[in-house]
Amino acid sequence: MQSAEIKELLFSAVDELRPQLVQTLQDLVRIPSVVGNEAQAQQYMKKLYQDLGLTVEMVEPNMEAVRKHHAFIDTKVPYEGRPNVIGTLPGEQGAPSLAINGHVDVVSPEPLEAWTRDPWSGDVEDGLLYGRGAADMKSGLLANYFALKAALKAGLRPKGMVRLMSVIDEEAGGAGGTLACLLAGYKADALLITEPHGMNVTVSNAGVNHFKVYVTGRSAHGGVSHLGVNAIGKALPIYQALADLDEKRGREVKYELFEKGSGRSCHVTVGTFHAGDWPSTVPGDAVMECRISFVPGETKAEIRAMVEDLVAKVAQEDPWLREHPPKVEWFAWQTEPWQQDPEHPFVQTLLQAAQDVAGRPVDLIGRASGLDSRFAPDFGMVAACTGPKGRNYHGIDEYVELDSVVETTKVVGLTMLNWCGVAGK
């Protein structure tokens, strides 16, 4: 069977399955699966995998094993009752194998009142499907499933093993999801993740570090506030210095793949600011929770030193802070950048499949954020990402373009068959 015939059979099967794909995506979006509460959605995925005749295993993260890994991120959310779902189609020994991964967890849709529709509705309008997780990334997760379903429907059984992975915890760092699965032995020769990357092929992501800055003041009653030292006021120069650092790095630090994929290479974000607990009390402490990202060629150690030196410099300019130096604490996400050789045969296979489906050149890009693909090198795996087009993920009125979901399904299916081969062919 020629490659053109394989492509025609696969694409025809995908097109026939489109109504079922859309309905299944609506069903899954309608199941709230905010990080920590993925169990119901995972039961749904388990049934899909079973109905396809896959060998299905529910893999609850092993905290002891995951905690020992250098990429572990402690989210403080227990793993009990939050299984990953692995569906495996066995293949011939020696044939290239493929793990196709997507996460079922989503971020909170709050503030609900800002949405123009129910975030769990799965509403379809003008070719767009709305809802929290529609783009990030339940559409990609189901594109993986329907790619394999379409191939089998067309009589195109992959020669190599194919492993579908529906994982938890990605939005919180991925330790309990993809990392836990890989540590438990659910590996393959290559890893494909279908994040919403606008039909481009992603081969790099930023290093991401979270940190807190603690600032100490002196509490006092509002009636004698002149006796206190307001921690908010003392924290503001640090906030401004971090904002200035963000602007400076955004202007000076360039990494071409991130510029193409995210529009900017790196960021410094002050995400939360907490101080005080009563309007008539001078707050005696303040804490900012922050995120800094960085590019290949920069290291976590260098980034930490830069932030700590900046905070210390600001403190030296204030008499109070000199005597009561702020404290920087590194927590949660602490990852180095990831980059995959774009000339690897698997990446080229994916790139060619994407171009065949799109009918045009497809960009190789990077993302100025974290991806589960970063775990692959630790397990001897090549990895890359692609996925549908959407907007407002992590935002209000999130949606995915349904045509791009169908295209992603074809890209995944063609990549799978070209990489793993077709049994009996």
How many Å separate Cα 197 from the centre of its chain?
A: 11
Q: Are strands 190-193 and 98-103 parallel, antiparallel or unpaired?
A: parallel
| Region of poorest pLDDT, from 72-86, 281-295, 299-313, 389-403 | 72-86
- Helical H runs in 30-160? 39-51, 63-67, 139-153
pLDDT of residue 286: 98
Q: What is the mean pLDDT of residues 291-312?
A: 97
Residue 84 CA to residue 43 CA, distance in Å, equals: 10
Q: What is the mean pLDDT of residues 121-128?
A: 98
Q: What is the mean pLDDT of residues 161-174?
A: 95
Look at residue 104 and tell me whether its pLDDT is greater than 90. yes
Q: Which helix (H) or strand (E) holds 27?
A: helix 3-29
Residue 116: CB atoms within 10 Å = 8
pLDDT of residue 29: 98
Confidence of residue 2 (pLDDT cuts 50, 70, 90): confident
Q: What is the mean pLDDT of residues 359-364?
A: 94
Q: What burial letters (b/e) apply to 34-54, b meaning 16+ CB within 10 Å?
A: bbbbbbebbebbbebbeebeb
Confidence of residue 278 (pLDDT cuts 50, 70, 90): very high
Q: Tell me the C-alpha to C-alpha distance, in Å, between residue 62 and each of 79, 84, 181, 188, 374.
A: 8, 11, 9, 20, 20
Sort residue 155 into left (φ over 0), alpha (ψ -120 to 50) or beta: left
Domains of the chain: 3-205+337-420 (3.40.630.10), 208-335 (3.30.70.360)
pLDDT of residue 403: 98
> What six digits make up the tokens of 75?
């989210």
- What pTM does this model have? 0.93
Q: Are the C-beta atoms of residues 366 and 204 closer than 8 Å to each other?
A: yes
pLDDT of residue 76: 84
pLDDT digits (tens, 9 = 90+) for 188-235: 999 999 999 999 999 999 999 999 999 999 999 999 999 999 999 999
Look at residue 1 and tell me whether its pLDDT is greater than 70. no
Residue 71 CA to residue 60 CA, distance in Å, equals: 18
pLDDT of residue 174: 84
Q: Are the C-beta atoms of residues 398 and 209 closer than 8 Å to each other?
A: no
pLDDT of residue 424: 82
- Please indicate whether residue 247 or residue 425 has the higher confidence score (pLDDT): 247
Q: What single string gives the DSSP state of each residue in 259-323?
A: HHHHSSS--EEEEEEEE-S-TTEE-SEEEEEEEEEE-BTB-HHHHHHHHHHHHHHHHHTSHHHHH
Q: Are the C-beta atoms of residues 203 and 339 closer than 8 Å to each other?
A: yes
Instruction: Supply the DSSP symbol for 395.
Output: S
Q: Which helix (H) or strand (E) holds 205?
A: strand 201-205
Q: Which helix (H) or strand (E) holds 390?
A: strand 390-391
Confidence of residue 74 (pLDDT cuts 50, 70, 90): confident
pLDDT of residue 408: 98
pLDDT of residue 102: 98
Residue 291 CA to residue 269 CA, distance in Å, equals: 5
Q: Are the C-beta atoms of residues 187 and 381 closer than 8 Å to each other?
A: yes
pLDDT of residue 75: 85
Residue 31 CA to residue 44 CA, distance in Å, equals: 9
Structure-token match 């995506």, residue found: 25
Structure-token match 């990334």, residue found: 137
